[in-house]
Amino acid sequence: MQEKRTSYGRTVLAYVVLIILAFLCLFFFYILIINATRNHSQIQQGFSFIPGGSFFVNFHNVINDANIPVLSGIKNSLIVSACAAALATYFSALTAYGLYAYEFKLKRPAFIFIMLILVMPTQVSALGFIRLITQMGMMNTLWPLFLPSIAAPAVFYFMYSYMQSSLPLELVEAARIDGSSEFRTFNRIVLPIMKPAIAVQAIFTFVTTWNNFFIPALVITDNSKKTLPILIAALRSADFMKFDMGKVYMVVLISILPIIIIYILLSRYIIAGVTLGGVKE
């Protein structure tokens, strides 16, 4: 009886803690959604739990604001994030495969070099990066926003550990004997096996790129080429007379929607991703 009561108590405690955590996580989303339905003056009056009636007004204002091209922002963000996710996962898997499946003299130094890049913050190399793309004529284009994803050390490391646990070299050898060329072996045998790892890293890269503000803010000047985070920043720094909090909340809501949809669709992979790579299947 005593035991039953303790386990009951524990469950209650666990639920209370989880509810608090869930509240802390979701409350901001709630504020965001509520505020997106209220107009500027309502928002300035303070917080309310009850939705306002300005949802469509805000939406209309955002869509029709020529200075804030939200639709093209969504398009740009989608292009950049999707390309970055595709490039980062494919080329990281390729690099990881190269280091995993082949024996060559500089294998170890190459691995260490990649790991060193991993600890280098983007800000350190930003100046050099801007000079480089200026000279390459890529300033104010979308290219520099996703091309560097080809070299993604963190994704590489994830792929490498996943291969160690899930890709027996015998498979590669079997493919070689079957007459498959090295590239075909990678594309037709290795990549399909890497699918779970690729899915996880694609999601993470997509989200990171989607939220990236630093590099796009440095590179893009054209309104039509701006990604969503820059547009949000532009809205917030708009002049005092035109400042409309309802619009800001609406743009933020629009910008997080695709991420939320992706999260809901692929949550299975994201959860799997946490344990992926470490355990030999």
Partner 1 sequence: MAGITFKNVVKTYDNGVTVIPDLNLEIKDKEFVVLVGPSGCGKSTTLRMIAGLEGISEGDLYIGDTLMNAVPPKSRDIAMVFQNYALYPHMTVYKNMAFALTLKKEPKEEIDRKVREAAEILGLTEYLDRKPKALSGGQRQRVALGRAMVRNPSVFLLDEPLSNLDAKLRTEMRSQISKLHKQLGTTFVYVTHDQTEAMTMGDRICVMKDGIIQQFDTPQTLYHKPCNLFVAGFIGSPQMNFIDAVVEKTDTGYAVVFGDTKVPCGREELAPYVGKEVVLGIRPEHLLGEDKDLGGTNTLTAEVDLDEMMGSETFLYFNYAGAKMIAKVPSSIVAPTGSMVTLAVDPTRIHIFDKESGEVVLN
The interface with partner 1 within residues 189-208 (CB under 8 A) comprises 189, 192-193, 195
117 or 174: CB nearest partner 1: 174
190 or 252: CB nearest partner 1: 190
Q: How far is the CB of 10 from partner 1 (least distance, A)?
A: 38
Taking every pair of Cα atoms in the chain, the longest distance, rounded to a whole number of angstroms, is: 76
Q: How far is the CB of 202 from partner 1 (least distance, A)?
A: 17
122 or 181: CB nearest partner 1: 181
188 or 268: CB nearest partner 1: 188
Looking at 42-50, 171-179, 202-210, 237-245, which segment touches partner 1 (CB under 8 A)? 171-179
User: Binding to partner 1 by residue 168, rule CB under 8 A?
Assistant: yes
Q: Which residues 6+ apart lie within 8 Å of 71 measured at CB?
A: 63
Site size with partner 1, rule: CB under 8 A? 17
User: Binding to partner 1 by residue 174, rule CB under 8 A?
Assistant: yes
User: Binding to partner 1 by residue 184, rule CB under 8 A?
Assistant: yes
133 or 167: CB nearest partner 1: 167
84 or 189: CB nearest partner 1: 189
The interface with partner 1 within residues 87-106 (CB under 8 A) comprises 103
| Contact residues: partner 1, CB under 8 A | 103, 168, 170-171, 173-180, 184, 189, 192-193, 195
